[in-house]
Amino acid sequence: MESVLVFYTLTAAISAYLLWFWLLARNLNGPKTWPLVGSLPYLFMNRSRIHDWIAKNLHSTGAAATYQTCTIAIPFFARKAGFYTVTCHPKNIEHILRTRFDNYPKGPTWQVAFHDLLGQGIFNSDGETWLIQRKTAALEFTTRTLRQAMARWVNRTIRTRLWVILEKAAKQQTAVDLQDLLLRLTFDNICGLTFGKDPETLSPDLPENLFAIAFDSATEATLQRLLYPGFLWRLKKIFDVGAENRLRKSLQVVENYMTEALEARKEAPSDDLLSRFMKKRDSDGNLFQNSVLKRIALNFVLAGRDTSSVALSWFFWLVMNTPRVEETIICELSTVLQETRGKDTRKWIEEPLTFDEADKLIYLKAAFAETLRLYPSVPEDFKYVVSDDVLPDGTYLPAGSTVTYSIYSMGRMKNIWGEDCLEFKPERWLSDGGDRFESPKDGYKFMAFNGGPRTCLGKDLAYLQMKSVASAVLLRYRLSLVPGHRVEQKMSLTLFMKNGLRVYLSPRELVAPTKASMSA
């Protein structure tokens, strides 16, 4: 009798919740909601194009509004009754990232999911733990020695590895997966810069590297935790099955590798980030413990590897499809290198760019900014709401809920970027005279490098690396997409190309620019 009573009570409670949920959800701005399931069917149908689906919903919400915010209703799955708030309103994003920064931390859901991999590192912490690491890192990222170290690592991987692989492919007329090569290149560079140990994943035979494989596996398994209710992945962790089993095994490999790197740095400190953090002290005045140092290093590897390689992949794809932009980039490169290396074009491709030469490439920087506007490496970001709040556009956010700001959608809003917002147009980042790079006057309409107190510290290093790699490839080769190869987005927290970027390479003939071509 008791079990029957419990059953009917539970059924009544669930029915009441679903009725209340539907009555509330049908009046929300956002995708259509259905009884019982809310917007879940639309989310499922658009799971392979989730970023474009979100952009469409934000674009179509509130015809009279200048910018957009919508709410997606997913019963039982989302925190706070099942409603996700998504926005691409610059004023809302400024409010979240700067004005009320303390009210929008990473939050417990994100931190718990990433704790096994990233611990209390800078990208997975809030409050005082985050602040002390941020201050320490900010001091180091402004030093010229770190920039010089980055230039050395980038130039070495280009000269001794990337060029060797591309030259062989061009001679044999075989295709390469450029995204894979770029992932390997940026991984080697960031590992070298972070803890002075080169995994050598970008080598002519493209070897498998246990640390790189384990790091990828651990990252992917960690991301899966965000896709399911917390109790589910915790249950898998207890029984050590599925993704949690892979995560545990991968973390063992990562831990061993980081222990070796840390011991090596203790014996022979260098100019890498790990060596620098080993000299710093925490908020209690103590040197960082080994476990903390290893997690700090992993945080920088995670942030510095995927973002730059993904941006480079989309850049090359956009340039291949926009000959006008490619010609302008080559003209700018030729002009700068003629000034620094003379008219002999052979000298232009003997060595990668120096960072002083890279600094002069204004149009190339604009092309990367334009790439990141359309294809941001991190398309969506999430924040936890500590206390009840109201966004500048009037949207109410209850404490304990999650708000998402869609960086991908911002680049596709006519109200933000104009009628030509879908066009790849680097010129929108240049001054009227075309001689200066100019960021938007509204600093919160371009969020590829985040904003507020968490603005990306490695922004300048990222531009340096991307300029060097782009120049190294485009000065030597013309790229063409392999016929039939489909360029699609991979649905993950980072905007990878699902099928990679398979291209053919053909040698480029360089010509010293004339005054007429330079003025044009």
Residue 265 neighbours by CB under 8 Å, 6+ apart: 195, 196, 272, 274, 275, 278
In the predicted model, is pLDDT for residue 409 greater than 60? Answer: yes
Please identify which residue in the block is written with the tokens 């109410």. 396
Q: How confident is the model at residue 7 (pLDDT cuts 50, 70, 90)?
A: low
Could you give the CA distance from residue 389 to residue 396 in angstroms, rounded to a whole number? 6
Query: Cα–chain-centroid distance for residue 16?
Result: 41
The answer to whether position 103 is within a domain reads: no
In the predicted model, is pLDDT for residue 253 greater than 80? Answer: yes
Print the domain residue range for 418. 122-378+411-519
Return the closest-CA partner of residue 192 out of 137, 152, 161.
152
The answer to whether position 302 is within a domain reads: yes
Say what the pLDDT of residue 1 is.
Answer: 57
| pLDDT single digits (tens) 215-237 | 989 988 888 887 676 778 899 99
Q: How confident is the model at residue 135 (pLDDT cuts 50, 70, 90)?
A: confident
Percentage of the chain exceeding pLDDT 90: 58
The answer to whether position 90 is within a domain reads: no
Say what the pLDDT of residue 26 is.
Answer: 53
Return the closest-CA partner of residue 502 out of 477, 472, 482.
482
Q: How confident is the model at residue 5 (pLDDT cuts 50, 70, 90)?
A: low
Higher pLDDT residue, 160 or 37? 160
Neighbours of 194 (CB within 10 A): 23
| pLDDT single digits (tens) 341-363 | 999 999 999 999 998 999 999 99
Say what the pLDDT of residue 140 is.
Answer: 81
Could you give the CA distance from residue 493 to residue 377 in angstroms, rounded to a whole number? 8
Number of domains forming the structure of the chain: 1
3-class state of residue 416 by DSSP: helix
The DSSP call for residue 286 is P
The DSSP call for residue 514 is P
- Whether residue 70 is annotated as binding a ligand: the answer is no
| pLDDT single digits (tens) 466-485 | 999 999 999 999 999 999 99
Say what the pLDDT of residue 62 is.
Answer: 47
The answer to whether position 209 is within a domain reads: yes
The answer to whether position 85 is within a domain reads: no
The answer to whether position 426 is within a domain reads: yes
Return the closest-CA partner of residue 482 out of 508, 501, 506.
501
Say what the pLDDT of residue 129 is.
Answer: 84
| pLDDT single digits (tens) 49-101 | 889 989 988 875 544 444 589 888 776 554 455 667 899 999 999 999 999 99
The answer to whether position 374 is within a domain reads: yes
In the predicted model, is pLDDT for residue 519 greater than 70? Answer: no
The answer to whether position 332 is within a domain reads: yes
Could you give the CA distance from residue 390 to residue 410 in angstroms, rounded to a whole number? 20
Question: What CATH code is carried by the domain that includes residue 271?
Answer: 1.10.630.10
Higher pLDDT residue, 44 or 307? 307
How many angstroms separate the Cα of 508 from the Cα of each of 167, 303, 344, 511, 512?
A: 12, 33, 15, 10, 13
Phi, psi of 271 (to 5 degrees): -100, 20
User: For the residues 492-504, what does the mean pLDDT come to?
Assistant: 93
| pLDDT single digits (tens) 377-403 | 999 999 999 999 999 999 988 888 889
